[in-house]
Amino acid sequence: AIAHGEDIATYQTYFSRYPNNLLLVYCFSTIEKIIHMLGLHQYEYFSILCIQCLISVFTGVLLVKVLEEVLACKSISLMGYIVYFLLIGISPWVSIPYSDSMGLIFPILIVYIYIKKKDDCNQYNHLFHTILFHNLQVYLQFHLMLHRHL
């Protein structure tokens, strides 16, 4: 509804109790707006599910890379991906736009970045990434605060 111009103030009570969902609503409504502008209105819900599936796939790929880096064994990392694929594949939450599905990538992404950066001795490269992630965090927090007061 918000993607189609409905005022967010209608949901003020809900978001005052669950402000963590503001970013999720922003992401979902942005996806729906883009799909709607492309003339694919009937596929708005399906597009969110496709994005969640892509996030799940990228999470699995990162899991394999982390396991390969930590265990130095390609067969065990592949086994980890198979277990991950089975657990995600049998989950009923795959068919529902849900915050856990959207946030699935962040824990393994943090581990992946940590593993890659601990081997990186380039101090300027590390400083650049630290500043980049800090600015992203400040932007997201500001964006959430802005929506919280609407």
**Comparison of pLDDT for 138 and 2, the residue scoring more:** 138
The pLDDT, as a whole number, for residue 5 is 62
Q: Which of 84, 89, 50 is nearest to 64 (CA)?
A: 84
- Residue 23: is its pLDDT beyond 70? yes
> What's phi and psi for 71, nearest 5 deg?
-95, -15
- Residue 1: is its pLDDT beyond 70? no
Half-sphere exposure of 110 (CA within 13 A, CB side): 5
Cα Dmax for the chain: 53
The pLDDT, as a whole number, for residue 65 is 92
| HEC letters along 34-87 | HHHHCCCHHHHHHHHHHHHHHHHHHHHHHHHHHHHHHHCCHHHHHHHHHHHHHH
pTM over 0.75: no
The pLDDT, as a whole number, for residue 143 is 62
Per-residue pLDDT tens for 29-85? 888 888 888 888 888 888 888 888 898 899 999 999 999 988 888 888 889 989 998
Per-residue pLDDT tens for 95-142? 788 777 888 888 888 888 878 776 655 666 666 777 777 677 777 666
